[in-house]
């Protein structure tokens, strides 16, 4: 049942990933799920840049480490190493991008929301495949266009780190019930 998948999905971080690979078929399955997100006026604004091979992840890792050094006023060596390590701890990193409708036929927030739903579709599918994932939105995302081509009106919203994991995930909790967040009219 989908409600159990929603309740059991968790953020799983690169330090928790094992060394098992994620196949191209599994990634394609996640991307197909993403493509079924709802989208106003069918703008389908989600775009993904896949860093799957070790070479591609190393290229991303080096870029993130170098960019962190360049844009940070007082860079920390510890933080630089941590930023650079995440892609190498992951079996795949997907840059989550948004392609703004050139006609601006819908408000930008709707295209951001549609892209976020596409990522949620990927995340739920990943959970069912025992692939851990989490969405990170560091300031470094705003520089990705220096590493890979972006079309006019396209920008990066974050990185979706993924890897397989062995441990049992913690039980989900909410601070307040839905009743505390709901007013029936």
Please report, in range form, the residues annotated as the binding site for FMN.
Answer: 40, 135-137
Residues tagged in the binding site annotation? 40, 135-137
10 contacts 101 by C-beta, under 8 angstroms: no
Length of the chain equals 185
Alpha-carbon 8 to chain mean position: 18
Task: Choose among 50, 18, 5: nearest CA to 166.
Answer: 18
- For CA atoms 51, 164, 80, 158, give the dihedral sign: positive
CA–CA–CA angle 123, 94, 108 (5° rounding): 80
Can you tell me the distance from the alpha carbon of 183 to that of 118, in angstroms, rounded to the nearest whole number? 28
Which residues, in sequence order, are CB contacts of 52 under 8 Å at separation 6+?
Answer: 22, 24, 27, 91, 92
């Amino acid at each position: 049942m989908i409600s159990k998948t929603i309740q059991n999905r968790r953020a799983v971080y690169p330090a928790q990933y094992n060394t098992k690979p994620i196949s191209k078929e599994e990634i394609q399955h996640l991307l197909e799920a993403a493509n079924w997100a709802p989208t106003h006026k069918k703008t389908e604004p989600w775009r993904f840049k896949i860093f799957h091979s070790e070479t591609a992840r190393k290229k991303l890792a080096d870029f993130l480490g170098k960019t962190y050094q360049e844009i940070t006023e007082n860079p920390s060596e510890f933080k630089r190493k941590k930023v650079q390590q995440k892609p190498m701890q992951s079996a795949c990193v997907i840059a989550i991008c948004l392609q703004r409708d050139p006609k601006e036929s819908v408000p930008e927030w709707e295209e951001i929301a549609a892209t976020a739903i596409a990522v949620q579709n990927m995340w739920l599918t990943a959970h069912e495949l025992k692939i851990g994932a989490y969405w990170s939105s560091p300031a470094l995302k705003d520089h990705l266009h220096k590493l890979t081509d972006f079309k006019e009106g396209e920008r990066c919203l974050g990185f979706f780190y993924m890897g397989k994991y062995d441990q049992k995930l913690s039980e989900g909790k909410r601070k307040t019930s839905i009743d505390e967040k709901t007013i029936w009219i």
